[in-house]
Amino acid sequence: MRDLDIAEVARRSGISASALRFYEQKGLIASVGRRGLRRLFDADILERLALIALGRAAGFTLNEIAGMFAAHGRPAIDRQMLTDKAEELDLMSRQFAKMRDGLRHAAACPAPSHLECPKFRRIMRAAVPETRRRSVAQSAFPAKK
């Protein structure tokens, strides 16, 4: 297959030309030459961009994604890193489910004020980690002089 210029890669991948240039600067992708002022990419760039998009959707940073490619450009993905990310996503999923349930409760709660609802107050406490609760409370209610 022929080389693709940056405009064609942008059109086919849905990734802006500026993002493609940024990815190249970060070492995630590499152009194979130029046609005039336009960068050219090998046709397999689309597969690589799909892997990058998948990594981004899973929550990996661009630096983590860059580390998933070996020197020869083929994927070399650490399976433990994938397992760790899956565990992180499981935790986030549980946290989101709790937040969803709390929002539904708050929307249907018959208490005159959300602050009068014991369950809503528990949800508020759970939203702030213990280590930050004191500093949040102190900044919200400064000591009187």
Query: Tens digit of pLDDT for each residue in 7-51?
Result: 999 999 999 999 999 999 998 999 998 888 888 999 899 999 999
Label residue 124 by pLDDT band (50, 70, 90).
confident
Structurally, how many domains does the chain consist of? Answer: 2
- The mean predicted confidence, pLDDT, of the chain is 86
Please indicate, yes or no, whether residues 67 and 108 belong to a single structural domain of this protein. Answer: no
Please indicate, yes or no, whether residues 53 and 91 belong to a single structural domain of this protein. Answer: no
Please indicate, yes or no, whether residues 122 and 70 belong to a single structural domain of this protein. Answer: no
Please indicate, yes or no, whether residues 9 and 73 belong to a single structural domain of this protein. Answer: yes
Per DSSP bridges, beta strands 33-35 and 4-5 are: unpaired
Domain assignment present for residue 104? The answer is yes
Which domain covers residue 41, as residue numbers? Answer: 4-77
Domain assignment present for residue 94? The answer is yes
